[in-house]
Each structure stands twice: as C-alpha cells, then as structure tokens.
Structure 1
C-alpha cells in the first residue's frame, strides 16, 4: 500500500511538473495541430463572425467607407493575435498545464475582444477592443519570457519578442488618449507598422525553428473555419429571406452560387503545397503577413452575399453594383493573395496568368454586370478547372 501511494504521489506530482520550453524540432515527423490549437481557432472565429456581421450592417445602411475601414482595423487585432500565437506554438509548444492555462487566458481575451467589436462600429469606441487585445498580448509576453528562461540559443530572440510586444502594448494604451478622427487612423496605422516590425527585428537575432508543415496546416485550418463561417452566414441570410421574397428561385440561385464559389475558393487555396512557401525569413514573413488579406477577404465574402439578398428583399440602401462589388472585391483579393504567397512559386506559366487574370475578370464583372454574381462564380470554376489540369511544379523558392 505504501509503494502504491508513493507511485500515485509521484504521478500526481508529474502532472504539475513544468517542461523546459525548448525549441521544437522543425523536421519532426507527423507534426499536426493539437486539439488546443483547434479550440483556439474556434474561439477566434467568434470574433471573425461578429466583425463580418457588423460590416454587413454598415454596408446595408450605406456606411461603406467607415464600415470597411473599421472592419480592417478590427480584423487586424483578431488576425495579429492569432498569428503570433500560431508561430510561437510551432516553435515552442510544450503542451504542459501552464502553457495551456496561458493559452486559455489568450482565448478569454478573444471573447472580450468580440464583445468590444460592436462599440467600435457604432461609435468608434476602441477601449474594450484595445483592453482585450492587450490581455492577449500580455499572455504572449509571458510565453516568450518562459521560452527565454528555458534555453540559451533563442534567448535573445525570445527576449526581443517580449520587450517589443510589451513596448507596443504601452503605445496601444496611450493610443486610447487620441481623439476620434483622422489622427486616430494615422496613429492606428503607425502602431500596426510597429507591431509588424517586432518579428522582423526579433527573428534577425536567431530564427525560431518553425515547422513548415505544421504552420501551414494552422493557416489552412483557420481558412477552412472562416470559409465555413461564410457558408453558415450566407445560409442564415437565405433562410431569413424565405418569408420575404415572392419566389424562391432567386434565393436558390444565390445559395447555389455561394456554395460553388466557396467550394472553388477552398479548391484554389489548397491546390499548392503550402509548405514550399515557408523557407527563409523573408518568405515566411510574406506568407504570414499576406494571409491577413486572404483571411480578411474570405471572411468578408459572406458580407457580399448577404448584401445581395438585402438588395433582393429591398432591405438596404445599397445598389446592385454595391452588392456586386461587395462580392467581387473579397474574391479578387483572395485570389491575388493566395496566388502571391503560395500558388505563384509552384505554378507554371499558364496558372500564373490565369489566376491574376481571374481576379481582374471578377472586378470587371462587378463593374459591367452589377446585378449578377454568375460570371464571378463561373470565373472561379474556370480557375479550378485549369488547376485540375495543371499539376504544381517543384521549384526552388525564391525570396
């Protein structure tokens, strides 16, 4: 009995024992996203969904410029916090109890951030949004300090991250003192540049060992969730309009075009082997940063579909052309973004002409045929057909 008690006591003690936060092997076989990372993504999608819904309300009420600018600001806070955690986790994930607790603290910050999105759209009140953002980033500082204390090789890099992130959070707190107006937009843009500069400076000390397959899987998972949320939001809008329209045929058409377009976007995104895009620091930064536009566009796609339904039911001040552009612009940005960071480097000449050309056709479609997204959907399908006929080409990635 005594031996059994000692063994049980050792086992209980092991559960609370912390591991050294040493770098993960970038060549580790079968490295996949953990259940905690997937849970983390789902919480973030709550904020993405609210941001998209608020953008829809703004566009529906005719506040196009203000709605888009606010959406881009809010989405930056969501995306940047998600991206920083993902790149940290690919290099230093220990999955012990403290790592999990700190990650859950970050998740709590996301939920507070989601609650603060409405006031930003309604009155430009950024207080709750900034507070939630700082909570997430302070948790990230704790992770980097733990990594710095665990090993020598990346200590300087980890400390640079911690100091850089902490310094920017002080600036965000001071940013709340800036009055609403053009000066606030300038200040926000300046702080975004400073945030983006932190990884550039830190990684020059010693590159953190990111896992190419793991990090690209993380981006792929988040893209899937965002596309799924887009389909869900669009389906909800279609269902809500069932009792308003006189005939179901237009709604059925919009629903079908939405599904085919979302499926085409999925096909296009997953055509290239993304891990080939992760190599040097410049390549990895490009892949990570340009995904802001890819993910923001994917999340905004549903807004265009909802606006199309609003025009159909007469529930908006927006015109047919406004609704068409609300579909076309996100798709065009999505196409150009994923082409730039992943498709371009492993595609032949045909694909590298077709994808950018498709983005142009989508925009021209919205300009010339403002009452329909049929050509836009057909263009996406045409791109998919070309990709099916052309295999990715193995190439050496260039910066």
Structure 2
C-alpha cells in the first residue's frame, strides 16, 4: 500500500487560488458531508425520480420484466456516477473554484441523463443517458488528473483511474453505433469494465478513505431515495383523488406506504455501518449498495402500481402487481441484514428479520395483502433490530 502525505481539511484561501489536491486525512475528525456534496445529491433526485416514474408506467402497462431490466440498466448509470464522485470526494475534496465547477459539470451530466431516462426505459434509446453519463465520468477524469499532479505518491493510482475511466467512456460512445441486440450485450460488458477500474487502479496504491464520511454519504443518499418514494406516493394519491377515486382505500395505501418507508429507514439506520477491512471490504460495501439503492428507488413505483391496482387502472394480475411492491422491499430488508445487521443481531434477531422478509414475499400471492403484509414484514425486522441485539463486547 502506498503511503502518501495526508492533508487536513481545506484551509481558507483566496477563492481565485487553486489548492493542492492532496489526499485528505482518513482519520480527520468531524468530517461531514459538505454543502456541495448535499447539493450534488439533490440533483440526483431528478434522475431517480424520473426513472422511478417511468418504471411505474411501464409496470402498470403490463411490462414488468422489461421495465425492471431497463430500470436496473439506467439506475446503474445513476448509482455508479454518484458512487465514484462520493469516493473521490472523501479522498481528495478541496473547496476551490475549479473543484466546484467540475462538480457542477457532473450535475449537468446528471440532468442530461435524467432527461433521457424515459426514452431509454420505454424505447431502449440510450443516447441521452449515455451522453449524460459520459459528461459526468469525463469530468471525474479531469479531477483524477488534477489529483495526479497534487500528490506524487498516488500519481500512478490517479492516472490509472483517469485512463481506465476515459477508455470505458469511449467504448460507451461506440456502443451507440451497435445494432440493438449487440448493444444490449455490450452494455453488461462495459458495466463490468466500469466496476473493475477501481480494482485495477487501487493495485498501484490505495487511496485514503474516511470511513465515517463514506457511511454518512451512503446514509444520506438512502434518505433521499426513501424521501423520493414518499413524495412519489403522495403525488399518486393526490392525482387519484383528483380523479375521484375512493378516499378510504387511498388513505390505507398511503398509510401503509409511509409505515413501510419508515420501517425501511429504521432498519437501515438501526446500527452503524462499517466499510470492512481493506480494499475488499470497501468495495463490498460500495458495490452491494447498488441492490439497496435500486430497491429503495423501485419501492416508490410499487406504491404507485398499488394505487393503480386498487382502482383497476393496470393491466397486471394481482400477484404481479403486488410483486412490484413486495420484491423491492424484501430485497432492501434482506440486503441491509446481510450487509450490516447480521453482525449485530443474535440468532433470534436474524431469524425474525428473515421471517419478516418471508412475510413480505408471501404477501405477493395473498389477495389484498400486499400493503398490510409488507408493513407487517418490515415491522418484524424493526422489532428484531430493537429487541434482539447481541450484547456489546
């Protein structure tokens, strides 16, 4: 592992002067998300919201499998661009005008991606999504090149990141010229190439990560996803009310959706998240959150489908409609348990969480049970978190 000089948090300097982009101290106390990072996250809400809304419409029209696959493909671009900025920022963030402009440029890429989400998911036209994604990634290439000049000890690692990202972006652009069937297969090849770039780059020397800052950033993004789900469900209820649908039934779905979202929040934040040991543990934490984030984003679509199904405004059978809600929630709970909770729960607690996941899954095939069954399953997981912890060593 390459040892590099560590800098403290950025100092107050004249705004027109650039700060040396050196690794920040991984043990820096009181490291919290910056206003720029929070602003960056909020822009991602647009992309998440539009992809979730499109997923809802595709699912309600009866194309659940196709909608889920296209959603996961678009969400990969959202998640990977967000995650790469987050890990870069925890290691090299400075507060000067160039860093801010490069970050805002990435935000612009997010908006371009968001504008193309519907075309990508509904019509398999990934042109705008690809251009938005490439804008974000090439902006990060510029950041890595700047980091390579700021720290000689990590110059090789930073240049590997810049080279790897740039090559894959050229391939993404080239993919647009492929026939549809070939382009579909190439997508997964390039996605695999993206996730392997950090593995290859870090072999030259490990960058410094502030574990508390990373876990806080992931927690904040989880909050954004759950908040977007509540907003989407609220908008769906308001729209249904304006169309004259049954108020008691809509209130029941709304209450169940809120209780489920609150339970997902409770379970995720029930214990402190840890990155794990070394590069492998950090990659596992970062990469596995794709499942958690994607499930949280799909949850809002499931609530909206439940509202459509309650008023016979969907082409789906009852079990399939239910699955659009139960599957994302079950995946979310099971994934959080596997990644974090199981280390802090006793056997009874883990069994109770698994029982909750099974209750949610069973609610898929029980008539009129998706909302109450999902709420019950999440409640069991919450009880496990509060009542079945292992004693502190």
TM range (shorter): over 0.9
1:212-237 Cα deviation digits (max 9, x unpaired):
10001000001001100000100111
Shift of residue 13 of structure 1?
8.8
Deviations 1:304-357 (A, max 9, x none): 111111011222111221221011100111012212222223332223332233
Aligned residue pairs total 382
- Which is higher, the Rg of structure 1 or of structure 2? 1
Deviations 1:345-398 (A, max 9, x none): 333222333223322321122123465321220111121112111336668xxx
Alignment partner, residue 3 of structure 2: none
For 2:301, the equivalent position in structure 1 comes to 303
Provide the C-alpha distance between the structure 1 equivalents of 2:378 and 2:35, rounded to a whole number of angstroms.
33
Q: Which piece of structure 1 moves more, 303-312 or 81-90?
A: 303-312
TM-score (norm 1): 0.92
- In the aligned structure 2, how far is the partner of 1:239 from the partner of 1:85? 36
1:142 aligns with 2:142: yes
The 2-side partners of 1:355 and 1:207 are apart by 36
Deviation of 1:194 (Å): 0.5
SS at match of 1:305: helix
**Structure 1 counterpart of 2:266:** 267
Q: Does 1:178 find its partner at 2:178? A: yes
TM-score normalized by the length of structure 2: 0.94
**How far apart are the structure 1 equivalents of 2:369 and 2:304?**
14
From 286, 289, 292, give the equivalent of 2:287.
289
Q: Secondary structure at the match of 1:366?
A: coil
- Measured in 1, the distance between the counterparts of 2:370 and 2:28 equals 48
Q: Following TM superposition, by how much is the alpha carbon of 1:301 offset from its aligned partner in structure 2, in angstroms?
A: 0.5
d(CA) in 2 for partners of 1:308, 1:191:
35
Instruction: Say if 2:333 and 2:357, in contact at 8 Å, map to a contact too.
Output: yes
Written as runs of structure 1 = structure 2, the 5 A alignment for 1:219-368 is 219-245=218-244, 247-274=246-273, 276-368=274-366
Q: 3-state DSSP class of the match of 2:363? A: helix
Distance in 1, matches of 2:347 and 2:204, equals 37
Are 1:157 and 2:119 matched, yes or no?
Answer: no
Q: Secondary structure at the match of 2:152?
A: coil
- The residue that corresponds to 2:29 in the other structure is 29
Q: Which consecutive unaligned segments of at least 5 residues does structure 1 have?
A: 1-11
Write out aligned runs for 1:185-204 (5 A).
Answer: 185-204=184-203
**Matched residue, 1:64:** 64
Deviation at 1:154, TM superposition (A): 1.2
CA distance in 1, matches of 2:205, 2:342: 28
Q: 8 Å contact 2:79–2:290 — kept in the other structure? A: yes
Cα distance in 2 for partners of 1:104, 1:394 equals 44
| Comparing 340-349 and 295-304, the one that deviates more | 340-349
Q: Distance in 2 between matches of 1:367 and 1:245?
A: 28
Farther off after superposition, 373-382 or 45-54: 373-382
Distance in 2, matches of 1:148 and 1:336, equals: 40
- Secondary structure of 1:273's aligned partner: coil
Q: Which moved more, 1:136-145 or 1:380-389?
A: 380-389
